[in-house]
C-alpha cells in the first residue's frame, strides 16, 4: 500500500474560540516538526557557532521559548511587562540575543543538553495554551498599546500575536535546520 500523509488543520477541543484553537494547532504543529528535527543534537551541536557573532542552535531554541513566554504575557494576557524568568526559568539577558559582533554564544546556555531546551520550550507552550484556552473570538481583534523603553509606541492585536508566534518559530526553525546543515559541512563555516 502506498504511504499516506495526513495534514488536517483542525480546532482542538477545550478552547472558547475555534479561531484561537486553530492558531494553537498551528503552534503545536510547528513544535512537533521542530522537535522532530532536533532529536539527536548533542550539547556540542547545540552550542556550535558557524562564526563568532552568529547564533547557535541552543540560542535559537532558547529564543523561541523566551519570545513565546514574553509574547503570551504582554500580548495575550495584556501585562505591562513580562517575567520570563519566573515563567520558564530564562531571562532576556540569558537567552543572549541579539549577539554582539564577534561574540561567543550566551554563557547562560553553555553545556545544556537537548532535554533542558525541550523543557524550556514545553514550559512556554504550557503557559500559552492555558491563556489561549480562555480567549474568545472577539479577543483576536483586541488592540494592545505598549510604550517601549526607546519611546516607541507599539500597537498590535491578538491575532497578530498568534501569527507572530507561529512565523517566529517557523522562521527560527528554518535557521536551525540551516545551522544543522552548516554543521555537517565544516567548509561552510565562515
Contacting positions for another protein (CB under 8 A): 2-10, 19, 22, 26, 29-30, 50-51, 53-54, 101-102, 143, 147, 151-157, 159-160, 163-164, 166-168, 170-175, 177-179, 181-182, 185, 187-190
Q: Is 163 left (phi over 0), alpha (psi -120 to 50) or beta?
A: alpha
Provide, rounded to whole angstroms, the least separation between the CB of residue 84 and another protein.
20
- Dmax (CA) for the chain in angstroms is 61
Provide, rounded to whole angstroms, the least separation between the CB of residue 60 and another protein.
9
Provide, rounded to whole angstroms, the least separation between the CB of residue 12 and another protein.
13
Provide, rounded to whole angstroms, the least separation between the CB of residue 86 and another protein.
26
Around Cβ 175, how many Cβ atoms within 10 Å? Answer: 14
* Residue closer to another protein (CB basis): 116 or 160: 160
* Residue closer to another protein (CB basis): 37 or 113: 37
b/e per residue, 133-168, with b = 16+ CB within 10 A?
A: eebeeebbebebeeeeeeeeeeebebeebbeebbeb
Amino acid at each position: 500500500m502506498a504511504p499516506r500523509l495526513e495534514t488536517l488543520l483542525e480546532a482542538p477541543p477545550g478552547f472558547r474560540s475555534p479561531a484561537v484553537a486553530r492558531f494553537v494547532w498551528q503552534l503545536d504543529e510547528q513544535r512537533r516538526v521542530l522537535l522532530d528535527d532536533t532529536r539527536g543534537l548533542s550539547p556540542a551541536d547545540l552550542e556550535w557557532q558557524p562564526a563568532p557573532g552568529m547564533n547557535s542552535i541552543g540560542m535559537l531554541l532558547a529564543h523561541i521559548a523566551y519570545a513565546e513566554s514574553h509574547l503570551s504575557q504582554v500580548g495575550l494576557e495584556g501585562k505591562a511587562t513580562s517575567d520570563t524568568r519566573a515563567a520558564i526559568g530564562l531571562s532576556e539577558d540569558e537567552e543572549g540575543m541579539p549577539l554582539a559582533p564577534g561574540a561567543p554564544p550566551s554563557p547562560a546556555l553553555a553545556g545544556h543538553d537537548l532535554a533542558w531546551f525541550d523543557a524550556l520550550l514545553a514550559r512556554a507552550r504550557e503557559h500559552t495554551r492555558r491563556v489561549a484556552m480562555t480567549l474568545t473570538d472577539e479577543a483576536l481583534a483586541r488592540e494592545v498599546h505598549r510604550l517601549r523603553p526607546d519611546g516607541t509606541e507599539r500597537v498590535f492585536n491578538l491575532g497578530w500575536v498568534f501569527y507572530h508566534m507561529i512565523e517566529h518559530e517557523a522562521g527560527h526553525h528554518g535557521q536551525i535546520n540551516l545551522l544543522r546543515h552548516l554543521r555537517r559541512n565544516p567548509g561552510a563555516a565562515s
